[in-house]
């Protein structure tokens, strides 16, 4: 039995069904964790984030992730689709200063009503939210579509769909959406000092490529390059028109 996990769930007033829904797993899987089975790393990290505790408090027999990875590297997920939804929600929901999204479409976020509401709520609380999407008429978007095997027209359509879904955020004070014509080697999702960096690989859709969870510090750590990249792209763009498109 994993009494640590059981006590943590009780303290958070969550049950197996709540955890299963947050992580998109079967409730029976969560029950097996309570019985003593050790989850895969991505699930351990997601549960720890959900309960706002350190992984080692729930599974002391497993080395904490900060001991297994380099300074500034919190986790590495094998694919973007393997990042639990609760990680995205906690990333943006926990922002106290700024949120930054740099991608070609970030359609998977735009399709999540909960994420859109979180971005709006954070902005209303004083958080600066900056969203950078690829110009659907730009050559860079078309090239990315061809390179990842989805096609130029499909990629442009994905960006257009994302812009339609993000439309509800355009008039929210504190949120600014811009279009870029930049070759991206990574998509960057930032909340204060935490970044999820989705690598881009030739011939591979972004959803199938790895994601790094990095922590930004002032000592030129691994996240520094991506923070700088975001700012440089932002400085080359202009705001899109507010209101209905």
> How many domains are there within the chain?
2
Residue 239 lies in a domain: no
pTM over 0.75? The answer is no
Distance CA 30, CA 4 (A): 14
Residues 122 and 222 placed together within one structural domain of the fold: yes
Residues 135 and 97 placed together within one structural domain of the fold: yes
Q: Which residues pair with 132 in a beta bridge?
A: 102, 178
Average pLDDT over residues 177-206: 93
Residues 148 and 80 placed together within one structural domain of the fold: yes
Read off the tokens for 15.
């049950």
Residues 106 and 204 placed together within one structural domain of the fold: yes
Residues 85 and 188 placed together within one structural domain of the fold: yes
pLDDT band at 242 (very low <50, low <70, confident <90, very high): low
Residue 178 lies in a domain: yes
Residues 87 and 116 placed together within one structural domain of the fold: yes
Q: Where among 68, 99, 125 does a domain terminate?
A: 68
pLDDT band at 162 (very low <50, low <70, confident <90, very high): very high
Residue 38 lies in a domain: yes
Read off the tokens for 243.
């209101």
Residues 36 and 124 placed together within one structural domain of the fold: no
Q: Look up the domain containing 38 and give its range.
A: 3-68
Looking up residue 22, the CATH number of its domain turns out to be 1.10.260.40
Provide the pLDDT for residue 244: 43
Residue 128 has pLDDT above 50, yes or no: yes
Of all residues in the chain, the percent with pLDDT exceeding 70 is: 93
Residues 11 and 116 placed together within one structural domain of the fold: no
Distance CA 34, CA 239 (A): 49
Distance CA 19, CA 23 (A): 6
Of 109, 88, 102, 107, give the one whose Cα is nearest residue 184.
102
pLDDT by residue (tens digit) across 59-93? 876 755 444 466 788 888 888 988 888 889 889 99
Average pLDDT over the chain, rounded to whole? 88
Provide the pLDDT for residue 127: 97
Contact assessment for residue 243 and residue 170, using Cβ atoms and an 8 Å cutoff: yes
């Amino acid at each position: 039995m994993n009494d640590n996990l059981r006590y943590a769930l009780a303290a958070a007033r969550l049950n197996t069904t709540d955890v299963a829904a947050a992580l998109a797993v079967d409730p029976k899987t969560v029950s097996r964790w309570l019985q003593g089975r050790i989850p895969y790393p991505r699930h351990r990290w997601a549960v720890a984030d959900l309960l706002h505790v350190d992984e080692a408090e729930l599974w002391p027999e497993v080395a904490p992730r900060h001991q297994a990875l380099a300074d500034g590297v919190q986790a590495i997920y094998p694919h973007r689709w393997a990042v639990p939804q609760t990680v995205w929600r906690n990333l943006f929901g926990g922002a106290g200063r700024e949120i930054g999204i740099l991608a070609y479409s970030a359609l998977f976020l735009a399709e999540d009503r909960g994420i859109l509401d979180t971005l709006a709520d954070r902005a209303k609380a004083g958080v600066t939210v900056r969203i950078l999407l690829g110009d659907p008429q730009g050559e860079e978007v078309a090239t990315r579509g061809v390179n990842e095997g989805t096609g130029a027209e499909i990629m442009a359509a994905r960006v257009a769909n994302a812009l339609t879904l993000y439309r509800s955020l355009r008039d929210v004070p504190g949120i600014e959406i811009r279009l870029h014509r930049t070759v991206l080697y990574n998509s960057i999702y930032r909340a204060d000092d935490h970044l999820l960096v989705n690598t881009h690989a030739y011939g591979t859709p972004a959803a199938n490529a790895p994601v790094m969870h990095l922590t930004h510090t002032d000592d030129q750590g691994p996240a520094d390059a991506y923070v700088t990249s975001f700012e440089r792209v932002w400085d080359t763009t202009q705001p899109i028109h507010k209101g209905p498109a």
